[in-house]
Amino acid sequence: MSLINTIWWIIPLLITIFTGILCPAMGTVLITHKRLLQVNLISHCVLPGLALAMALGVDPSIGGVTSGLLGALAAESLANKKNENYEAVMNTILAGSIGLGVLLIPLLGIRIDLEAVLFGDLLTANIGDLLRTIFALSTFIFLIIFTYNKIVHIGLDPEGAVANGIKVDFLNLALGFTTALVIVSSMSAVGVILVIALLSTPTLLGLQKAPALWIAMARSSSFGLVISLLGFFLAIILNLSPGPLISVLCIASLVFLKNVK
Amino acid sequence: MTSLIAENLTYSYSKHSNPVLEEVSVALTPGTLTALVGPNGAGKSTLLNLLQGHSKPDKGKITINGKPLFNNRTQVSLMPQRGKLNWNFPITVEGLVSLGRVNHSKLSCCELEAALQRVGISHLAKRRLDSLSGGQQQRALLAKTLMSPAKILLLDEPCSALDPPAREGFLLIIRQLADAGLSLFISSHDWGSSLNSYDKVVALDKTVLANGSPQEVQTKLDSIDCMRGSYCCG
């Protein structure tokens, strides 16, 4: 029992490390593909799925990934139609999804710690959260290893990629699915809302003068790891919530970026 | 030797819209530098997309050495307009060029070096794409196009946004490629003296207005009064 009491921090620490590496690497791909707004949509679409899954007695992460994926499909369809107002439509779906999630919680009579879902509760993370994070990390690594050149081609020259026979729609969908996985797996660490900060800020640092996408990803992950670990240990020392603290550190690193520039 | 013949191409973006191309016929022969000129909205990029096989015409046919384009798409390579590319993407010149390989098959350093030398930027191989000038970026994009096995190159407004010396340098490179036996079809807004650098000119405005040597086309267009204002931008 005393052993459990002394190593309680191992699972949260491992989740911090994996999330700190995974989110910025994923963010690098998404930012270079100009898809960050779609990530925002996916992250907000997760909540209704979580609520429904809990009401049905299914693993909440399955519901979260499913509704996140539906959000990804909606985003993909909107982006493909090239409607000039698609950003406004996307934001409407985004706001509607989070509203639907909040409404479903009392309507279905379930109990969800909304604060933990939105802003994370890393210090109470369990082995299930850790396994979800490892699964998301493995899926991302698998995607990168087998489709790296195609991802680079799509990010640089989407129409040329289509002409070169690359299944761009399929790969974009795979990216959307992996993004939904990453967001749901990062819930315990930083929450669905604050995950956006971890997807964006380290990437801005890592992209500076990087000569290749994989180098930008490696640099972003290094910055993300430092920010996450710093947030984790400061949260323990100061007895604060790690998610918001990591997000505040992201803003601080933006100031650092401005000075470096 | 690879020749492309397009006959009576008609194309519209949807069933209910008016055609953007009507009864367009062109022939591209090896070792020839052909300019495709026309005003904005004339259908130049649409025609290049059809010739590359990216879109299918509603009517008409495209053949390469007598065989349908569909079975010979690797014989045609398209260099897109500048605006289609994400120039801030983290990639070096050699990284960009190696993407030109069909199906991203392995590329030897000699092939890469040869492509960069043909466009005169081998010294820039390790530089990041967004650190180059507009002219250098266009050369890098041309080197990428040269990595494919295609003998017919379609270049969509490669000289736009280039200053006169860079444009001249670029035209010199594509002339060398034509002299080496490639067939090049280059869309341009430039209807000035620089058209004399081409072997043939096709003037397009939804349909082919004139087709022949630069002098023949210029004479024909001069006789079409209403077109003069549209073309005189060089």
CATH of the domain at A26: 1.10.3470.10
Summarised one tens digit per residue, pLDDT across range B112-147 is 888 898 888 899 999 999 999 888 999 999 999 888
Partner residue facing A159 (CB), from B84, B104, B128? B84
Which residues of chain B lie closer than 8 angstroms to A207, CB-CB?
90
Q: Could you tell me what percent of chain A has a pLDDT over 90?
A: 29
pLDDT over 90 (residue B75)? no
Which residues of chain B lie closer than 8 angstroms to A165, CB-CB?
102-103
CA nearest neighbour of A189 among A236, A233, A238, A241: A241
Q: What is the mean pLDDT of residues B193-217?
A: 87
CB contact under 8 A, B80 and A157: yes
- A250 — pLDDT class (breaks 50, 70, 90): confident
Summarised one tens digit per residue, pLDDT across range B44-72 is 999 999 998 888 899 999 999 888 887 77
More confident residue, A72 or A208: A208
- B233 — pLDDT class (breaks 50, 70, 90): very low
B163 phi and psi angles, rounded to 5 deg: -75, 165
A109 interface with B at CB cutoff 8 Å:
no
More confident residue, A5 or A69: A69
Q: Which domain holds residue A77?
A: 2-260
Partner residue facing A163 (CB), from B52, B85, B89? B52
Q: What is the pLDDT of residue B194?
A: 65
A211 interface with B at CB cutoff 8 Å:
yes
Q: What is the pLDDT of residue A81?
A: 63
Q: What is the pLDDT of residue A2?
A: 54
Contacts of B195 (CB under 8 A, 6+ apart): B35, B37, B188, B201, B214, B217, B218, B234
A34 interface with B at CB cutoff 8 Å:
yes
Q: Would you tell me how many other CB atoms lie within 10 Å of the CB of residue B100?
A: 25
Q: Could you tell me what percent of chain A has a pLDDT over 70?
A: 93
- Beta strand B4-11 with B59-64 is antiparallel
Whether residue A186 contacts residue A23, with contact meaning beta carbons closer than 8 Å, is answered with yes
Q: What is the pLDDT of residue B179?
A: 92
Q: What is the pLDDT of residue B102?
A: 62
CB contact under 8 A, B91 and A212: yes
Which residues of chain A lie closer than 8 angstroms to B89, CB-CB?
32, 152, 155-156, 213
What tokens does A111 get? 């109990």
Whether residue A168 contacts residue A27, with contact meaning beta carbons closer than 8 Å, is answered with no
Q: What is the mean pLDDT of residues A72-91?
A: 73
Say if the ipTM goes beyond 0.90: no
Q: What is the pLDDT of residue A135?
A: 93
Summarised one tens digit per residue, pLDDT across range A199-218 is 988 998 899 889 999 999 99
Summarised one tens digit per residue, pLDDT across range A106-122 is 898 888 777 777 777 77
CB contact under 8 A, A213 and B91: yes
- A62 — pLDDT class (breaks 50, 70, 90): confident
B 30-59 → A contacts, CB under 8 A: 52-54
pLDDT over 60 (residue B104)? no
Partner residue facing B86 (CB), from A156, A207, A209? A156
Q: What is the pLDDT of residue B196?
A: 81
What tokens does B221 get? 């267009």
The domain tally of chain A equals 1
Which residues of chain A lie closer than 8 angstroms to B128, CB-CB?
209, 211
